[in-house]
A = this chain, B = another copy of it.
Amino acid sequence: MSKKLTERSKDYSKWYNELVVQADLAENSAVRGCMVIKPYGYAIWEKMQAKLDSMFKATGHQNAYFPLFVPKSLFEAEEKNAEGFAKECAVVTHYRLKTDPDDASKLIVDPEAKLEEELVVRPTSEAIIWNTYKGWIQSYRDLPILVNQWANVVRWEMRTRLFLRTAEFLWQEGHTAHATKKEALRETELMNDIYAEFAEEFMAIPVIKGKKTEQEKFAGAEETYCIEALMQDGKALQAGTSHFLGQNFAKAFDVKYTSKEGKQELVWATSWGVSTRLMGALVMTHSDDKGLVLPPKLAPNQVVIVPIYKNEDQLKAISEVANKLAKDLRASGISVKYDDRDTHKPGWKFAQYELQGVPVRLAIGPKDLEKGSVELARRDTLTKEFIDQSEVINKVRALMVEIQDTLFQKALSFRDQHISEVDTFDDFKKVLKEKGGFISAHWDGTSETEQKIKELTKATIRCIPFDGKPQVGNCVLTGKASKQRVLFAKAY
C-alpha cells in the first residue's frame, strides 16, 4: 500500500513521480531510461489507443507495420532528419552473443558476428517507410496512401521521466503520401484537429492548436502543427504533432508518381504522432494530492463497489445488491469492478481507488441494506452522499457525463487564467517566474530572438496559435515590428 504522496505545492515533480508509481501506472526497469507500463497504466493507454484508432479509421486510415530497424545508410539519405535527432539512438552492431571462453557463466558479444552495416533502432520511421513507399507508388492511382503504425520507438535520452521522456516509448506514427501539396496540407491539419478533439473530448485536456516556429519544428518538416496543453505547475506540454513534410522525403528516397497527364511528379508527405507521453499529460492535468483523477471516458473502471461487512452473512446479502447494481450498470455501458476480496479491508480499498482515480465509488454496508441506500463518492470533487439504490443507475450515468465535463471545465478555466498577455520583457520574466503558464507576447519572427529568450528565461515558443488575430506590435525582447502574438512557456 502507498504512503502519502508529496503535495503538489511542495514539489510538483516529486508528486508526479510518486503518483505514477504508487497508482500502478508505470515504473522504472532494469534498463536505463526504459519503463515498465503496468497493467493499470496500460489499460488506460489501451483506451486511448482504441479511441484514436477508431478516429484514424473513420478518416480513411489503415494500419500497417514496418521494421524496428533502420539501416544506417537510410538515415544518411535523409540529411535533415539525421541532423535533427537521429544521432542519439540505439545502434545494433552485432547479431550474436557467445559464452565467454574465460568464464562459462558469462556471455560476451561474438566479435565474428559483426554486422556489415549497423542498424539503428527506429527513433521514428520516415526513412524506412519512404524507402518502402518508393515501391508502392507508381501512378496517381496509388495515391493517397493513408497509413498509420502503432509501434515502439527508441531515442537515447539522457534525462528520463516516466511517460514524459523515456528512451523507449510507445506511439502511433501516421505516414501519408499525396499527389498534391493542397491535399497534404489538408491532411496535416485534419490530423492535428483529430488530436485536439481527442485531447479535449476524451482526455478532458484543453489544448491550443498552432504551428511551430522554424526552430521548434521537426527537422524533416516544412511545417509542424501541434496541440499544446498546460499542466498544473504552469508548464506547457506538447501533446501531439502533425507535420507537413513537403517533398523532402520524396526527394530523399526518389518517390515519384505518374500523373493523369502522364507526367512524373514528386509525392507530397505528412507524418503525425502521439505517444505514451499523453499518459503524463493526463496525470498532470487532473490529479490531486490524494492521487490520480481520471476522466470517465478513459477510466479502466468507471465505478468501483466496495462491500463493508463484519461476517459472511452480511457479505452475502450485500453481494446480492452489489451484483445486481453492477449488472445494471454494465448493461448501461458502464465499467464496474466489484471488489469483494477478503484479503483487504474497506479502508485499504477506499484509499487504493482514490489513489487510482476511479471516478465513482459505491460503498454498501449493513445499514444501507436496511435503508435501501448506498454511499456514493465522487473522485473529482471528493464529495460523498447517500442515495437510494433505485437511483444509482441514473445517477451514475449522469455523473459519467458530469465528471468528464467538470474536469474539462476546471482544466480550461485554469488554462485560460494562465494565458498572460505581456508587452515588456520585464513583465515577461516576472510573469514567467511568479505565475507561469502561457505568455502571449509579440516576437520579431527571428530564430535569434527566440534563442535569446530561451537562454535568458528557459521559455520557448510553444506555438503560433491558429486562432491568434493579426495585431501590430513590438517584439517583447528586441522591440522590432511584429504582426502577431505567439505563445511562450516553459515546457516539458
Q: A109 contacts B118, CB within 8 Å?
A: yes
> B residues within 8 A CB of A351?
none
> B residues within 8 A CB of A66?
29, 36
Indicate whether A338 reaches chain B with its CB closer than 8 angstroms. Answer: no
Q: Which of A65, A96, A135, A344 has the most CB of B within 10 A?
A: A65
Interface residues of A in 342-370 (CB under 8 A from B): 343-344
Interface residues of A in 66-100 (CB under 8 A from B): 66-72, 74-76, 79, 82, 86-98
Q: Report the separation of the CA atoms of residues A221 and B459 in the bound assembly, to the nearest whole angstrom.
A: 55
- Decide if the interface of chain A is mainly helix, strand, loop or mixed: mixed
Q: For the complex of A and B, list the 3 residue pairs with the smallest distance between their C-beta atoms, beginning with the closest.
A: A34-B67, A39-B62, A37-B65
Indicate whether A120 reaches chain B with its CB closer than 8 angstroms. Answer: yes
Q: A93 contacts B94, CB within 8 Å?
A: yes
Q: Report the separation of the CA atoms of residues A343 and B141 in the bound assembly, to the nearest whole angstrom.
A: 7
> B residues within 8 A CB of A35?
67
Q: A95 contacts B105, CB within 8 Å?
A: no
Q: B36 contacts A69, CB within 8 Å?
A: no
Contacts A69-B90, A151-B152 given; 10 further ones with Cβ under 8 A? A36-B64, A42-B64, A79-B105, A87-B110, A89-B95, A89-B97, A90-B95, A91-B94, A92-B93, A152-B152
Contact residues of A with B, CB < 8 Å?
A: 27, 29-31, 34-39, 42-43, 45-46, 62-72, 74-76, 79, 82, 86-98, 105-107, 109-110, 118-121, 128, 131-132, 135, 141, 147, 151-152, 154, 156, 168, 170, 343-344
> B residues within 8 A CB of A68?
34, 121, 152, 154, 168
Q: B93 contacts A89, CB within 8 Å?
A: no
> B residues within 8 A CB of A75?
97, 107
> B residues within 8 A CB of A29?
66-67, 128, 132
> B residues within 8 A CB of A65?
36-37, 42, 45, 170
Q: Report the separation of the CA atoms of residues A323 and B107 in the bound assembly, to the nearest whole angstrom.
A: 63
Q: Report the separation of the CA atoms of residues A62 and B47 in the bound assembly, to the nearest whole angstrom.
A: 13
Minimum C-beta distance from A434 to chain B (A): 39
Minimum C-beta distance from A325 to chain B (A): 22
Closest B residue, CB atoms, query A66: B36
> B residues within 8 A CB of A79?
105
With beta carbons under 8 angstroms apart, the residue of B67, B71, B95, B152 that contacts A36 is B67
Closest B residue, CB atoms, query A152: B68
Minimum C-beta distance from A199 to chain B (A): 22
Closest B residue, CB atoms, query A260: B343
Q: Report the separation of the CA atoms of residues A417 and B96 in the bound assembly, to the nearest whole angstrom.
A: 42
Contacts A71-B31, A135-B27, A344-B141 hold; do A147 and B39 have CB atoms under 8 A apart?
yes
Q: Can you name 25 A-B residue pairings with CB atoms under 8 Å?
A: A27-B132, A29-B128, A30-B71, A30-B74, A30-B128, A31-B128, A35-B67, A36-B67, A42-B65, A45-B65, A67-B168, A68-B168, A72-B97, A72-B107, A76-B105, A82-B97, A87-B107, A87-B110, A89-B96, A91-B92, A91-B95, A91-B109, A97-B120, A141-B344, A152-B152
Q: B93 contacts A97, CB within 8 Å?
A: no
Q: A76 contacts B107, CB within 8 Å?
A: yes
Q: Report the separation of the CA atoms of residues A241 and B79 in the bound assembly, to the nearest whole angstrom.
A: 45
> B residues within 8 A CB of A43?
62-63
Q: Report the separation of the CA atoms of residues A65 and B34 in the bound assembly, to the nearest whole angstrom.
A: 11
Q: Report the separation of the CA atoms of residues A37 and B63 in the bound assembly, to the nearest whole angstrom.
A: 9
Q: Report the separation of the CA atoms of residues A110 and B87 in the bound assembly, to the nearest whole angstrom.
A: 9
Q: Which of A31, A71, A94, A120 has the most CB of B within 10 A?
A: A31
